Amino acid sequence: MKRTTPLRAAVAALLLTVGLGGAHAGTANAAPAGSASTASAGLLDAMRNDLGLTPRQAEERIRAERAAAGVEADARRTAGSTYGGSWFEPATGRLVVGLTDRSEEADVRALGADTRLVRHSAAALDRAKSRLDGLSAPAGVAGWHVDPKANSVVVTVVRADRTAPAVHAFVEQARRTGPVTVAETATAPRTYAAGTVGGDPYYTGNVRCSIGFSVYGGYVTAGHCGRAGAAVRGWDGSAQGTFQGSSFPGDDYAYVGIHSGWWTVPVVLGWGTVSDRLVRGSAEAPVGASICRSGSTTHWHCGTVLAKNETVNYSQGAVYQMTKTSVCAEGGDSGGAFISGDQAQGVTSGGWGNCSSGGETWFQPINEILGRYGLTLHTA
Known catalytic residues are 224, 252, 334
Of 319, 204, 322, 326, which is closest to residue 256 (Cα–Cα)?
204
Q: In a 3-state reduction of DSSP, which class is residue 129?
A: helix
Element (H, E) at 258: strand 253-258
Residues recorded for the chain: 380
**What span, in angstroms and rounded, lies between the C-alpha atoms of 223 and 282?**
20
Cβ pair 130, 177 in contact under 8 A: no
Which of 102, 142, 104, 149 shows the shortest CA–CA distance to 122?
149
Burial class (CB in 10 A: 0-12, 13-18, 19+), 202: buried
Orientation angle between helical segments 41-51 and 55-79, nearest 10 degrees: 80
